[in-house]
Structure 1
Amino acid sequence: MTQVLSPTPQDEVRWQAVLNRDASQDGQFYYGVRSTGIYCHPSCPSRRPRRENVRFFDDPQGAQVAGFRPCLRCRPGEVGARRRAVMHVQHLLDTVEPTPSLAQLAEAVGLSPFHLQRVFKAETGLSPKQYALARRGERVRRELREGASVTAALYAAGHASSRTLYDRSTDQLGMTPGRYRAGGAGETITFAVTGSVLGPMLVAATGRGLVAVRLGEAGVLEQELRAEYPRATLVQDAAALGGYIEALHGHLAGVRRDLPLASDAPGTDFQRRVWAALRSIPYGETRSYAQVAEMIGEPRAVRAVARACAANPLALVVPCHRVVRAGGDPGGYRWGTERKRRLLDHEQVTAAD
């Protein structure tokens, strides 16, 4: 283990992943620490080693042959099995009707319900139930867009009855299916434009969740919202949105690092998968577009990921500012590159405190 090898460009990319504790690279490579004789996966929460003490390996076998033993904290040999379990659960949730219970899913992959819940959310950013509801909502939307009746859409999407389609605890449309099919006609959207450290910020929501959080010029922000929802009734009422606004300001101040706010923003299946992945990126950290593509299981869809980031309607709540170019350059941002730099700098400083 004392042999020192010259670093390669790939090694330097891997080292950055270790510094960022990049969970999307878990299972893609492993690193060994000469001073301890232990190997880990990139997201290991252990103290970061000195660069000169690190060696990289493509698989656990290579690390073990070189004399390293697995870390007891991150258990690197289990990462591949974890990903396979999550993918199998996703397949079951996508194809099996009625939707399997958490206990049934756990039994299918040989995990306890508690462990499956934790692993699934770590990999996808959603619990199995949230994932199943989101997928069912996407199927309803697709059926309605294609002209199906409400009754046909609800059964085609897997709803057992109209009650679950209209139930606030399970509905993923945020408005009645009839109104959605009619382009949102009759829906009420409450909005407000408030000041923030990043300038004017528009916040808009239906009764079930946020449809927009945008940064820019006050007059332009309102015009854009009206153009996007021309058939909806727009009501300006900052007091009604007080909870959302308070949470967003707290986040910008560094008081609240997480923003688990309800979302009612429309989007395609692919966009929603990208946005869910973005919400799993830890505060103060970044991922490249390629890494996000890996996170959603679409490694070749880097450009599509970039387009989904650009289409994100919920600034801060869906933190697309945490996605940067492979070389570390911040890249573009729907609400301006300077705002993106300020957000990243602020989060990194706050996270280090």
Structure 2
Amino acid sequence: MSTAFWSTSDTRIGPFTAVVAGDGAVLASGWTGDVGELTPLISPSLTPGSLTQRRDLGPVTSAVRRYHAGELDAVDDIEVRQRSGAFRENAWDTLRKVPAGRPVSYAEYATLSGNPSAVRAAASACARNAAALFVPCHRVVRTGGAIGNFRWGTDAKRWLLSHEEVR
């Protein structure tokens, strides 16, 4: 039975909680103070047997704080572990390569993920992303630049995109 750990940090846009595996890989994360909102997002094959709260998750907590303070690449090297079908897993890996300050449309995201006609599948990959921030689904917007949906609210997405604007 595996144990995962979780912690909540205060950020400029509210509480941010991360759930990490014993080896430190992020299993789920988002702008909530309720770990119960995150655990259903974890793939059944990765669901831990138990969860233990920690004050600090080491490199993950540090990366969250540094990102919100303006070091936009602080989250880039944090390991993330998500499971799904081949397209979704590839799409999540691809999303981690979209640079801060350079949002892409869902159509562009589908193309980057290797299947230009899979716009709905690309949108679904964003919607099912359990590791917000570390897999930056907030960097995908509607064609024409409209903000689009975001699990953690459009105000949070708007703040993140503004925070990442290339100046």
TM-score (norm. length: structure 2): 0.89
What runs of 5+ residues in structure 1 fail to find an aligned partner? 1-185
Aligned-pair RMSD on alpha carbons?
A: 1.7
- Equivalent positions of 1:30-41 (< 5 A) are none
Name the CA distance, whole Å, in 2 between partners of 1:258 and 1:285.
Answer: 16
C-alpha distance after superposition, 1:170-209 (max 9, x if no partner): xxxxxxxxxxxxxxxx111011122111111111111231
Aligned equivalents of 1:344, 1:312: Cα separation in 2? 17
- C-alpha distance in 2, partners of 1:197/1:284? 18
**Structure 2 equivalent of residue 194 of structure 1:** 9
From 62, 65, 68, give the equivalent of 1:252.
Answer: 68
Amino acid at match of 2:60: Y
SS of the residue corresponding to residue 11 of structure 2 reads coil
Q: Does 1:280 align with 2:97?
A: yes
Query: Equivalent of 1:222, from 30, 35, 60?
Result: 35
Larger Rg: 1
Does structure 1 residue 311 correspond to structure 2 residue 128? yes
Q: Please give the per-residue CA displacement for 1:119-164, whole angstroms capped at 9, x wherever unaligned.
A: xxxxxxxxxxxxxxxxxxxxxxxxxxxxxxxxxxxxxxxxxxxxxx
- Equivalent residue for 1:204? 19
Output the CA distance in 2 between the equivalents of 1:263 and 1:231. Answer: 15
- Give me the whole-angstrom Cα distance separating, in 2, the residues matched to 1:248 and 1:222: 16
Shift of 1:258: 4.5
CA distance in 2, matches of 1:321, 1:225: 17
Q: Does the 8 Å CA contact 2:28/2:39 hold for their aligned counterparts? A: no
Structure 2 residue 116 is matched with structure 1 residue 293: no
What amino acid does structure 2 have at the position aligned with 1:309?
C
CA drift of 1:282 comes to: 1.3
Question: Matches of residues 232-243 of structure 1 in structure 2 within 5 Å?
Answer: 232-239=49-56, 241-243=57-59
> Quick one: distance in 1 between partners of 2:110 and 2:40?
31
Kept after mapping to 2: 8 A contact 1:290/1:299: yes
Query: Residue 280 of structure 1: CA displacement?
Result: 0.9
- Is the CA contact 1:289–1:326 (under 8 Å) kept in the aligned structure 2? yes
Please show how residues 129-208 of structure 1 align to structure 2 within 5 Å.
186-208=1-23
Output the CA distance in 2 between the equivalents of 1:226 and 1:321: 20
The residue type paired with residue 5 of structure 2 is T
C-alpha contact (below 8 Å) 2:9/2:15 kept by paired residues: yes
CA distance in 2, matches of 1:280, 1:242: 23
Q: Which residue of 2 aligns with 1:265?
A: 82
Amino acid at match of 1:247: A
Partner of 2:163: 346
* Contact 2:19–2:29, Cα closer than 8 Å, also in 1: yes
* Residue 302 (1) aligns with residue 119 (2): yes
How much does 1:227 deviate? Answer: 4.8
How far does residue 273 in structure 1 lie from its aligned partner after superposition?
A: 0.9
Give the aligned length: 161
Matching residue's letter, 1:303: R
Q: In structure 2, how many angstroms separate the alpha carbons of the residues matched to 1:290 and 1:253?
A: 31
Counterpart AA for 1:287? V
Equivalent residues in 2 for 1:322-333 (5 A)? 322-333=139-150
Q: 1:330 to 1:222 in 2, by over 3 A?
A: same
- Identity, in percent, stands at 36
**Structure of higher RCO (CA pairs closer than 8 Å, 6+ residues apart):** 2
